[in-house]
Amino acid sequence: MNFSFFKKPLTLLVATTLILISACSGSSQDNFGGLALYTVRDDMGKDAKATLQKVADAGYVNIEAAGYDNGKFYNMSPEDFKSFVSEIGLTPISSHNATVTLENADKMIADVKAAGFQYFVIPIPPMGHFTFDQKTRTMGMKGDIKTVTDIINTIGKKCTEAGIKLLYHNHDFEFKKNKDGIVPIEYFLENTDPKHVNFQMDLYWVTKAGADPVEYFEKYPGRFKMWHVKDMDEQGRYAPVGTGTIDFGRILDKKEESGMKYYMVEQDMTFDGQQALEAIKISHDGLKTFGFK
């Protein structure tokens, strides 16, 4: 039989197949990194599912929630939230739970686990110990630091017993001496058990406090299991990753010493008319320039 009739279509088919495989492979390689959903909280409040799809379309694969209320994540039950994000290719990694108390911790931890998250994050000093001055826009902590540490330790043990991990997330005040001459983050690090409590370092806030992330990695190796990656512009404002002044490459070189397992892009606010969904795309592109994967 003469097969010359099939040569051209067969060649075309093979070429088309290779192009499609290459395109799919390239797309997969471009999907990486995590996003703190606090960045797009306004959009999540309007249409959570559509916004999550846009987060996936922007190239992110991991997410951190900041929208737990009355047993639901963004008005979805833990099980429904887990199912939906899985359908669109997102993986729930961590959940910020600012309203945790010793009384509601068991229920909250159970819901965080049911939604598929690996990490339960305390984002501010819990149970009324966080302060915010509206006039000066400064944050702080009130009360005895040992009391706050004891609360964190107790919740950490509860998380371990439930099969998830606890992280404490910093702002700038934890890296500054308090009225008693204590640097809160150092007190937390030295008075918590790494079996039950570790930390999510917000690189912007550490820089804002005038501290060096790398020095803390060296002093407390392995304790910073997750990072918030957000940039700082020349005015000290939040900025998309790669458009500001923070040397993420230098910090990323110390990833192993830090103990970092995951990182989340976060931008608390946008400026000059920029929208949050636009900013997260710029940040995703910016991650590549520093070698984030």
Domain interval for residue 235: 32-290
**Torsion over CA of 75, 274, 228 and 134, rounded to 10 degrees?**
-80
> Can you tell me the distance from the alpha carbon of 92 to that of 76, in angstroms, rounded to the nearest whole number?
14
Query: Does residue 71 come out as left (phi exceeding 0), alpha (psi in the -120 to 50 range) or beta?
Result: left
Please report whether residue 5 resides in a domain: no
Confirm whether 25 is domain-assigned. no
pLDDT digits (tens, 9 = 90+) for 73-85: 999 999 999 999 9
What is the per-residue pLDDT for 158? 98
Residue 39 has what DSSP assignment?
Answer: G
Whether residue 62 lies inside any domain: the answer is yes
How many Cα atoms are found within 13 Å in the side-chain-facing hemisphere of 263? Answer: 25
Please, which residues have CB within 8 angstroms of residue 61's CB and are 6 or more apart in sequence? 31, 32, 33, 34, 89, 90, 91
Residue 178 inside a domain? The answer is yes
Q: What pLDDT was estimated at residue 12?
A: 39
- Percent of the chain past pLDDT 70, that is, above it, reads 90
Model confidence band, residue 30 (pLDDT cutoffs 50, 70, 90): confident
Residues 98-132: pLDDT tens digits? 999 999 999 999 999 999 999 999 999 999 999 99
- What are the tens digits of pLDDT across the range 236-287? 999 999 999 999 999 999 999 999 999 999 999 999 999 999 999 999 999 9
Please state, in angstroms and rounded to a whole number, the distance separating the CA atoms of residues 207 and 209: 5
CATH code where residue 255 lies:
3.20.20.150
Q: Is the pLDDT of residue 5 over 60?
A: no
Q: Is residue 11 part of a domain?
A: no
Q: Give the mean pLDDT of 54-65.
A: 98
Query: How many domains are there within the chain?
Result: 1
Whether the pLDDT of residue 191 is over 90: the answer is yes
